[in-house]
Chain A
Amino acid sequence: MINTIHILNIVLPILYAATFAVYAYDFAQHKELLHNSKRAFLFVTLMVHIFYLLARTIEFNHPPITNKDEIFTILAFSIGFAYFLLELLTGIRGTGVFIILFSVIFQILSSLFIEDLVEVKEILRNRLLGAHVISALLGYSGFTISAVHGLLFLILYKDIKLSKFGLIFNRLPSLETLEKLSFVSLVIGFVLLTISIIIGFSWLPSAFPEFSYFDPKLISAGLVWVIYGIGILVKLIANWYGKKVIMFSLVGFILALLSLFFSNIFASSFHTFY
């Protein structure tokens, strides 16, 4: 089993890179054959990834959420999977290349540094922690997809304003569709992050005696939650459109990324397990 895990650790970034290449080639060339079969590439990659995650869980006797390298591979999977569902439900295939790029980056980072951890803190085997982390990661995947669609909205908006009718204009869906996809992903991400925060607040204080509300991760996650929450409110109540709402998605995403990196790398608190 351990050898299979090591092989898959090398194969996965290659598979994600190949899927990305297929999506990129189709975006540039728009070949009918690839247009229909690229989803199959993504499906196979995700299936291999599921097998890899299950194999790690069984072999090391804990879900792969115990350190940032394991979290990166979960992020790569959840972003790819969330996009796969989105493509399946909406039929929109033009934005995949930009989203799968994030899966490629996270999987490469994970595969480069991931270690075989058999011995982990007992707290990391807790199911509530698993639910807390998984919902947070799925929420961040939603924010990633929202941000990518938001960025594509801004690029297409600018192209149409400037009458630049190139590849972006020809391949992307309409501005209204991009805005809708960005907002729906944002709402899904927000709901999942809310679930994660609720689990965290109800369980963390009892699980960690050194729990503090001034934990950098808590503060940054709270800030991200507030920004996205305001974004949703202004859209629903004030009926804001387009660029203004998109800016909330992008600022929230940048903040989420910064918090993910800095709070894990530099900060040290009860919320840091590795």
Chain B
Amino acid sequence: MDLIGISINHKTAPLELRETLFLSTSEIKDLIPKLKKDVFSDGFILSTCNRTEVFGVPLKGVVNSIDIGDYILDYKPVPGIKRENFAGYFACSAIKHIFNVASGVDSLIIGDSQILGQVKESFQISLDWNFAGSVTKRMFDSALKVGKRSINETGIGDGAVSISYAAVQVVEKIFANLNKKSALVIGAGETGELAAVHLKDKEIGNIVIANRTKEKAEKLAEKVNGKVIDFDSIKDELYNFDIVISATGSPTAIVELSDIKNMMKKRKGTPACLVDIAVPRDIDPSAKKIDNVFYHDIDSLEVIVDQNKKFREKEIPKVERIIMEELVNFYSWYNSLEVIPTIKSFRNFFEEIRQDEMEKIKHKIHSDDIDKFNEVTKRLVGRLMHNPTKRLRELSETELSEQDLKTHTLILKELFKLDNNSKA
């Protein structure tokens, strides 16, 4: 197998280098024709903020991972990057690496839920730009299968591994039906946005955004089908919300203990969940002493995140078993490709003998019998060839290593003086 490629990821390079090398979709679409012309007959490029992967089948001659790295850096120079920042993969290790990436075990956050979608997207670009050959197409299918099986058959993607998602996990332990609840997200920055999106994904009944810059709040509200309230009216409106998630950059507290007491008074003791994911904190932590107020900050949510990360790490062996199974399946298919030309030559060899013999006897038999002779000889050749061809296919799919298979096909070719120039 000629597949070769390079990877730059969190294990090989610091974030600033990975970020600088990041290739946008338009850059990938621009780079693919160049790669097709100079380096690969087919392949794919995956680039996220955390990793860039370039894999393909070389056009001709010897191409090594260093050449590929240099080619990518010629296209997009990254100051300070070294050859050691690229990991090179070839043949089986390349396929295994791609499967690892698709399953999420190679991600910075193990079991990262986004990576499979990103892999799928990069494969789709290859298909759209005619950069996918039969081997890479099959590899795409297998990699996506690995990713899906990992999610469905293991716990690699279970539990929250981000603070925002952990906040939603706590909320779900308090309230049964989020679609009947109301949530206020204070702060429309990255963390606030993530929390709002997670709440929307959980089909929260009503979501409201408050932010000092109202335009940002409106933008986020539009994204999550929510509403906006004035930042200054937060304290007066608090009692309307079952869930309050605060993630601002404010240097001082936004919600005081007295505000929460007022809120609970107006709510007549109905439970409220206050999640403070800001540093420094936005909500007075003594709120946790009030009955039916569930207050959580980054420190407490970090406990959930750590637990889930450990759980996911324990699931890695299960994912590795899936990867091995799919590697075996992939190589069974790939090995069967090797024997197909030999089988075709083998069939042609016998067919030529048959036709030769038919030619010799067709003047010695009655014209009415020619068809019968044709049929009999075809059947005879078919039966003679059945066992060896069937066995060769079986060996390629199940039992032999690539080297053993080559030996078997070579013996067959030697014995019958075959070449692979099939006429069929």
Residues of chain A whose beta carbon lies under 8 Å from any beta carbon of chain B:
156, 160-161, 163, 165, 169, 172-177, 180, 239-243
Q: Which residues of A lie under 8 Å from residue B174 when comparing CB positions?
A: 160, 174-176
Contact B170 A160 (CB under 8 A): yes
The answer to whether B303 touches A165, judged by C-beta atoms less than 8 angstroms apart, is yes
B350 within 8 Å of A (CB atoms): no
Task: Pick the residue among A163, A172, A176, A243 that contacts B175 (CB under 8 A).
Answer: A176
Chain A hits for B291, CB < 8 A: 243
CA distance A241 to B269 in the complex (A): 7
- CA of A239 to CA of B269 in the docked complex: distance in angstroms? 10
Q: How many A-B residue pairs have CB under 8 A?
A: 43
A175 touches B271 (CB 8 A): yes
In the assembled complex, the Cα of A172 lies from the Cα of B173 at a distance in Å of 8
Chain B residues within 8 Å of A242, by CB: 271, 292
Please state if A180 and B176 are interface contacts (CB–CB under 8 Å): yes
Contacts of A176 in B (CB 8 A): 174-177
State whether A161 and B288 are in contact (beta carbons under 8 Å apart), knowing that A241-B270, A242-B271 are contacts in the complex: yes
B175 engages A241 (CB within 8 Å): no
Which A residues touch B270, using CB under 8 A? 241
Residue of B nearest to A176 (CB): B176
Q: Which of chain A's residues has its CB closest to B273's CB? A: A160
A163–B294 Cα distance when bound, in Å, is 9
| Chain A contacts for B292, CB-based, 8 A | 241-243
Given A165-B307, A243-B291, do A175 and B173 touch, yes or no (CB 8 Å)?
Answer: yes
Q: Cβ of B97 < 8 Å from any Cβ of A?
A: no
- Interchain CA distance A177-B176 in the complex, whole Å: 6
15 A-B contacts (beta carbon < 8 Å): A160-B170, A160-B174, A161-B288, A161-B294, A163-B296, A163-B299, A163-B300, A165-B307, A174-B172, A174-B175, A175-B271, A176-B174, A240-B269, A241-B271, A243-B291
In the complex, A242→B175 CA distance in Å? Answer: 12
B304 on the interface (CB 8 Å rule)? Answer: yes
**Chain A residues near B364 (CB, 8 Å)?**
none
| In the complex, residue of chain A having the shortest beta-carbon distance to the beta carbon of B291 | A243
Q: What CA separation (Å) do A172 and B296 show in the bound complex? A: 19
Docked CA distance A180–B173 (Å): 14
Is B60's CB within 8 Å of the partner chain A?
no
Chain A residue nearest in CB terms to B174: A175
CA–CA, A17 and B165, complex, Å: 39
